[in-house]
Structure 1
Amino acid sequence: MTRINKNMTEIIYKKLSYKVNGAAFETQNTLGRYRGHGQYVDKLESALLKNGLKCSREVPLAPSFQAEKKNRNIPDLVVEGEEGRLVIEVKAKRILTKKDYFQLQRYLASGNFRLGILLNFRQYCLKPKRIINSEYKR
């Protein structure tokens, strides 16, 4: 049994996350584990649009600090639903590293997203990773 802090009972973008996860599992079931990054993003984008979600691909985000050059922060997908918008980063590699998590955290901060989902389609079982922006400003 896990303990839940009463201040942490809210699931951020519950319905939107459910639809995104469904599209991600559909993508892996269709393509399998050994495709390229671009193929996964193509299929995932198609599945998200089919589920009625607004989806933008590789949209450059604002620089995260003053001297940063433009177009450094480009997430794979930005998805909008009734609850809000979230960023998706797709990977097709054997294991995720800290660098992958840090990359998504940069996108969350640059675009002021509340939630990001990290997907690695190369793993035996797809396990979507929900990353929350602790510095989110409403």
Structure 2
Amino acid sequence: MTENEISSIVIGLAIEIHKKLGPGLLENAYQECLFYKIKQRGLFIEKEKAMPLIFEDVKLDCGYRIDLLVENKFIIEIKSVESLTVNHLAQTLTYLKLGNYKLGLIINFNEVLVKNGIRRVFNNL
């Protein structure tokens, strides 16, 4: 399955979850629901995946954690904030680069229409 196919599935599930729960909950609530729905679809998914920094051939734990990693190649960062910022984009780009992943999504569930809070983020390997 390609990253674009995973992206389409995840966006559909995020919209489904948002329709049922609406905005205003904590990030963890949306993360758990999305984790459950993706797993239910039969995709391999990990949550709070540790992302070490490799520096001079040494693996350093800097506290980086990907909210959701799907099929070992697609990252999802869950937010529930007033609006997405450049810091959210930088965080997601960091994960893409450290893990050598091509594509990820930032999903801000704190929007009236969740589609307005979805950002695709690319890593130009």
- TM norm structure 2: 0.88
RMSD: 1.8
Hey, what does 1:42 align to over in structure 2? 32
Q: Distance in 1 between matches of 2:62 and 2:68?
A: 15
**Which residue type is aligned with residue 124 of structure 1?**
V
2:69 paired residue among 60, 63, 78: 78
CA distance in 2, matches of 1:21, 1:69: 32
Q: 1:3-57 CA distances to partner (integer Å, 9 max, x unpaired)?
A: xxxxxxxxx6222111111111111112110111110101010111111211100
- Whether contact under 8 Å (2:74, 2:104) holds in the other structure is yes
Alignment correspondent of 2:50 = 60
What percent of counterpart residues are identical? 28
What secondary structure sits across from 2:66 in the alignment? coil
23, 27, 30: which one pairs with 2:17?
Answer: 27
Deviation at 1:61, TM superposition (A): 1.2
Give the SS at the match of 2:53: coil
The offset of 1:125, in angstroms, is 1.3
Q: Unmatched 5+ residue regions in structure 1?
A: 1-11
TM-score (normalizing by structure 1): 0.80
State which of 109, 112, 121 in structure 1 corresponds to 2:109: 121
Amino acid of the residue matched to residue 62 of structure 1? P
Task: Give yes or no for contact 1:63–1:72 (8 Å, CA) kept in 2.
Answer: no
Q: How many residues align?
A: 121
**Runs of 4+ in structure 1 over 3 Å off:** 64-69
1:91 alignment counterpart: 79
Tell me the distance in 2 between the aligned counterparts of 1:57 and 1:40: 12
Q: Normalized per residue, which structure has more helix?
A: 2
Gap regions ≥5 residues in structure 2 = none
| Bigger Cα Rg | 1
